[in-house]
Amino acid sequence: MSRFFNTSGPCQPEKHYMIPGAERFDLDHVRGLIDKERYFILHAPRQTGKTTLMRHLARTILAEGRYVALYVNIEAAQPARNNLELVNTIILSEIKRAALLYLPEKYRPKPEHDAVAPANGLSEFLTHWCLALPLPLVLFLDEVDALIGDGLLSVLRQLRAGYNDRPKGYPQSICLMGLRDVRDYRIFSEKDQKYIIGGSAFNIKEKSLVMDNFSHEQVNALLQQHTQETGQSFAPDAIDLIYQKTHGQPWLVNALARELCFEATSPAQGGAVTAAHVREAAEGLIRRRDVHLDQLSDKLTEPRVARVIQAILLSESGPAVDALSNEDRQYVVDLGLVRRGKDGLEIANPIYREVIPRELTRVDEDFMGQDPLWYRTDEGRLDMEKMLGEMVLYYRRHHDLITKRKTYNEAAHHLVFMTWLHRIVNSGGYIEREYAVGLGRMDLHITYADQQFAIELKLLKGNAKEEGMEQLAAYLDRLGLAQGYLVLFQRGVIEDLDAVGRREQTCLRGKRIDILYL
């Protein structure tokens, strides 16, 4: 069977195109931590390759014959929450199942290794098992941060309690894997009725290791594996665009490549892949919101995520930004939704940048009741003036609802405007967005048939108009366009509805700027 681009579960070299772990991560450093009997953390967002990497390392170490190494996913214990006995029972079951599948019989735990005290079952079991093993034990425990409350605290404290007995009476080395560094866990203990910081419950960890996205070179190397095996090539600008749209996020790279090379609906249809094909495939992923994208979208309703994303959508300094805690910021970075860019916090990549506003406005768009074809000319082009005019009428009719959103109410104006654009532009074009905390505006680049439009969104305060004109002129320079639209939003309840839709036109540095007040 020929190999393919994998988007579900760990990669296997005989089945999937993949970048070897040693090229993505310093495995010699990990081996050094193991040899020194260290306990350490590996964290990274979902679908970045942690599981693939550590499963491979566990198999390699086991085959070398110096350690008994085992990878175990303990996410199944999550529903047990604060039931400590059940948490321990499920984790032990998962360890035994993994040992049955991946360890030679002589290394597998025996019935006599089972714990006597179920609430402390993990620690007791590991001690009995390690004492019986002829070689030191190395454990890779995945999805640790999926556990909740006292169940998570129990696991961390048990692992800490046995630390001084390693390597004879406890694992030589343990790697805890998850989305976040254990020091950033805030765990609510029902028993103690207070929050416990993960670092205090597991203060024996030596290192926190982070797994990065693919580099441009690694994206190229992954795609070239397909070219070598099938002959289907990627134009250099197509490779550049895949990296630019994904910023090397491994699942997105593989999902785009699969869409281009293996799906019946592929825009490339088995031929050489061009940048135009990549744009079309990326739009398909965004519209479908495949599993990985759906999982990220589900996080948008969490209050601490909403606080950060709203501040980024506004792209302005002010109360929404000032209210952000370091914990909120770090949490959303660890999820992989956000990164720290040159302009401040920004959405992690252009595909997520498109998915997030669309997800937040999905219901509004469904009930907007606009026929996109009504805004298309006989020549198949977009009538931008007609679209903006109808937007003004809609805004006047529904302005009172805009500021009454239960979530993302500070960014309500931006979201309503983008909802309108989605509804109409998606019928024959696409939108690219630029926004980040500290950027001072949101920039929209619309491509429709042979047309291009630039729109800048800003809140109307202070010298927003003058700033916006300068910013839009620079944006138009970058896009190579002569004209653009500056949309200025009033905050709060609108007293003078007649002022909604007021237009001005001016020029700056040779650029025509149309200003719309909403």
Instruction: With a cut of 90, say whether residue 411 has pLDDT above it.
Output: no
Domain limit, last residue, from 210, 232, 251: 210
CATH of residue 130? 3.40.50.300
Cα separation, 185 vs 189, whole angstroms: 12
Instruction: Please classify residue 4 by burial: count the beta carbons closer than 10 Å to its beta carbon, then call 0-12 exposed, 13-18 middle and 19+ buried.
Output: middle
Please indicate, yes or no, whether residues 316 and 373 belong to a single structural domain of this protein: yes
Residues 182 and 262 in one domain: no
- Does the pLDDT of residue 461 top 90, yes or no? no
Contacts of 492 (CB under 8 A, 6+ apart): 403
User: Hey, what are 82's tokens?
Assistant: 């604060």
- What is the Cα–Cα distance from 337 to 360, expressed in whole angstroms? 14
Q: Are residues 95 and 125 located together in one domain of the fold?
A: yes
Distance in angstroms (rounded) separating the CA atoms of residues 327 and 325: 5
Q: Is residue 197 domain-shared with residue 328, that is, in the same domain? A: no
Domain assignment present for 1 = no
Q: Which residues of 74-109 are buried (b: 16+ CB within 10 A; e: fewer)?
A: beebbebbbbbebbbbbbbebbbebbeebbeeebbb
**Range of 231's domain?**
216-288
**Model confidence pLDDT, tens digit, residues 482-518:** 999 999 988 766 667 777 889 999 999 999 999 999 8
Is 2 within a domain? no
- For residue 424, the model assigns a pLDDT of 84
**Domain total in the chain:** 3
Asked whether residue 446 carries a pLDDT value surpassing 90, the answer given is yes
Q: What is the pLDDT of residue 429?
A: 84
Report whether 292 contacts 46 (CB < 8 A): yes
Q: Is 270 part of any domain?
A: yes
Residue 124 domain-assigned (yes or no): yes
Q: Is the residue at 13 inside a domain?
A: no
Q: Do 60 and 181 reside in the same domain of the chain?
A: yes
Task: Assess if residue 5 is contained within a domain.
Answer: no
From residue 71, how far is each of 39, 88, 138, 192 by CA, in Å?
15, 17, 9, 32
Separation of CA 354 from chain center? 12
pTM for this predicted structure: 0.86
Based on the fold, state whether residues 31 and 105 are members of the same structural domain.
Answer: yes
User: 3-state DSSP helix/strand/coil percent for the chain, to nearest 5?
Assistant: 50, 20, 30
Q: Are residues 506 and 415 in the same domain?
A: yes
Residue finishing a domain among 181, 210, 239? 210
Based on the fold, state whether residues 223 and 164 are members of the same structural domain.
no
CB-based burial of residue 457 (10 Å sphere; 0-12 exposed, 13-18 middle, 19+ buried)? buried
**Most distant pair of Cα atoms in the chain: their distance:** 83
Same domain, 43 and 173: yes
DSSP class of 472: H
Q: What is the pLDDT of residues 52-100, one digit of tens each?
A: 999 999 999 999 999 999 999 999 999 988 899 999 999 999 999 999 9
- 357 and 396: one domain? yes
- Last residue within a domain, chosen from 189, 210, 231: 210
Same domain, 70 and 115: yes
State the amino acid at position 263 in one-letter form.
E
Residue with tokens 């303990």: 74
The pLDDT score that the predictor gives to residue 197 is 66
Q: Examine residue 12 and state whether it is found in any structural domain, yes or no.
A: no
Question: Do 173 and 87 have their domain in common?
Answer: yes
